[in-house]
């Protein structure tokens, strides 16, 4: 399979080149030249397949012969070695739990798959691969654990100072080995801008072999389609074949993956883009005007993105029929106060403890259902992170009930190691050059 730049469809590269280059020099994003439609026999019998089997079939159709079957199966079995259950909370309301991986966030799907693909493509004696990643919360921890100890790689994680949770920060800053952290005195958008500028800087590209582990990398997007297909497979076993997904959205890689799955034939009735106060996309879906804005800090920090990178991919998928996108996706946004109310409601109604991002997705699903005649449609909202990552955000009486996973307990007492920088690109460039 070849991949093109969203800014220049005549620029076509292999999957390997798309993975290692991450972002084309024209500042577009890579997309597959054609999106394959999966056969009906597979789609109608998804409930007969395991998650690794589904993942292999989807990846094989997207990648073609870029990775031989046996090698691709080995990569998937190593990377996707945890489960993603669909849990029923009430009739036709389900939560898709995506936090059962090592870093307790949905980013484990993309980060682990990508790290193994990069390791597979790296050849002995090649120049060290420098991976730059901006994080608003969970991406950094997933990438850190995904690449920790991978030979011939070095990871630099940029995160906004004071704008990630304590546990998230420990996951970013206590790894050592080939992983280092940079604390940026700014927002996630500032971190993302530094990474993007580094990719197009001639001196840095001459000195380093740069790539990204953010969702701008196509190797992050592809594995995120796996859990949409797998969720549908689980619903088929429950006799449900009509589904709506409510997706908590920040940089919009998660929703982008769902729409890619839909393009491949997954029979999803509708998607809901659920955001916090950073409501650029819900605003567009309501008005037709796309107006990026500076991000604002919220209690659902992993979604504090005012100019989501992956929106260009979504627009590219629907460039021939933008009206279809408007009819397929609804947008909802919520304040911190509304998010806390949703957390309380979920706890009271289901005795279920959710992270703030998950609570937003649940509230968006419930609000969407108010205006619909949903009938047999199963509403699935995505739970993107374990609630233990946000003890200072959750109401105290709810936070006390959280069962702390072992990997979080193991972070206690570890020492933070991070370099603090401003949002000036020259300072970041000097840091990279001085710490080769």
Alpha carbon 213 to chain centroid distance? 10
- Paired residues of 182 in beta bridges: 158, 419
| Dihedral sign for Cα atoms in the order 339, 248, 286, 310 | positive
Beta strands in 153-251 (DSSP E): 153-160, 179-184, 209-212, 243-248
Residue 236: phi, psi to the nearest 5?
Answer: -60, -35
Long-range (24+ apart) CB contacts under 8 A made by 339-346 are: 339/276, 339/298, 339/299, 339/300, 339/363, 340/299, 340/395, 343/394, 343/395, 343/398, 344/395, 344/398
| Dihedral sign for Cα atoms in the order 103, 81, 221, 126 | positive
| Catalytic choice (16, 60, 107, 196) | 107
Q: What does the alpha-carbon distance between residue 356 and residue 174 come to, in Å, rounded to a whole number?
A: 24
Q: Are 111 and 220 in contact (CB under 8 A)?
A: yes
Is residue 256 within a helix (H) or strand (E), and if so which, with residue range? Answer: helix 253-263
Q: What is the DSSP string of 281-349?
A: HHHHHHHS----------SSGGG--SS-TTHHHHHHHTTT-HHHHHHHEEEEE--HHHHHHHHHHHHHH
Q: What does the alpha-carbon distance between residue 258 and residue 124 come to, in Å, rounded to a whole number?
A: 36
Q: What does the alpha-carbon distance between residue 142 and residue 207 come to, in Å, rounded to a whole number?
A: 27
Q: What does the alpha-carbon distance between residue 119 and residue 125 come to, in Å, rounded to a whole number?
A: 13
Beta strands in 36-172 (DSSP E): 86-90, 93-97, 129-134, 153-160
107 a catalytic residue: yes
**Whole-Å CA distances, 20 to 30, 201, 212, 242, 263:** 11, 16, 8, 38, 25
Catalytic residue IDs: 107
């Amino acid at each position: 399979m070849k991949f093109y730049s969203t800014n220049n469809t005549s620029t076509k590269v292999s999957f390997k080149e798309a993975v290692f280059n991450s972002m084309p020099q024209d500042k577009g994003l890579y997309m597959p030249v054609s999106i394959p439609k999966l056969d009906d026999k597979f789609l109608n019998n998804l409930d007969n397949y395991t998650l690794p089997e589904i993942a292999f079939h989807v990846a094989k159709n997207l990648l073609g012969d870029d990775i031989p079957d046996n090698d691709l199966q080995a990569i998937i079995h190593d990377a996707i070695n945890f489960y993603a259950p669909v849990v029923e909370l009430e009739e036709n309301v389900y939560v898709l739990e995506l936090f059962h991986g090592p870093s307790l966030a949905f980013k484990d799907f993309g980060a682990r798959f990508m790290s193994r693909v990069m390791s597979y493509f790296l050849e002995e004696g090649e120049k060290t691969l420098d991976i730059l990643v901006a994080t608003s919360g969970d991406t950094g921890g997933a990438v850190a654990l995904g690449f920790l100890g991978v030979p011939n790689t070095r990871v630099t994680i940029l995160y906004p100072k004071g704008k990630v949770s304590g546990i998230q920060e420990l996951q970013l800053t206590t790894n050592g080995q080939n992983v280092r952290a940079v604390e940026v005195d700014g927002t996630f958008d500032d971190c993302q801008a530094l990474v993007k500028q580094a990719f197009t800087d001639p001196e840095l590209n001459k000195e380093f072999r740069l790539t990204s582990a953010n969702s701008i990398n196509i190797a992050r997007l592809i594995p995120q389609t796996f859990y949409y297909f797998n969720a549908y497979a689980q619903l088929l076993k429950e006799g449900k074949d009509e589904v709506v997904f409510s997706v908590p959205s920040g940089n919009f890689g998660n929703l982008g993956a769902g729409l890619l799955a839909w393009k491949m034939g997954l029979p999803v009735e509708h998607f809901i883009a659920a955001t916090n106060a950073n409501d650029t996309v819900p605003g567009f879906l309501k008005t037709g005007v796309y107006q990026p804005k500076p991000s604002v800090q919220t209690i659902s920090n992993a979604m504090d993105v005012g100019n989501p990178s992956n929106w260009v991919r979504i627009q590219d998928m629907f460039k021939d029929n933008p009206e279809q996108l408007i009819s397929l996706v609804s947008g909802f946004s919520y304040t911190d106060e509304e998010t806390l109310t949703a957390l309380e409601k979920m706890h009271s109604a289901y005795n279920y403890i959710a992270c703030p991002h998950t609570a937003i997705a649940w509230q968006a699903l419930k609000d969407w259902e108010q205006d619909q005649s949903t009938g047999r449609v199963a509403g699935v909202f995505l739970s993107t992170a374990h609630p233990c990552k946000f003890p200072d955000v959750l109401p105290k009486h709810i936070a006390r009930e959280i069962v702390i996973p072992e990997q979080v307990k193991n972070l206690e007492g570890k020492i933070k190691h991070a370099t603090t920088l401003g949002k000036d690109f020259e300072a970041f460039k000097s840091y990279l050059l001085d710490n080769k």
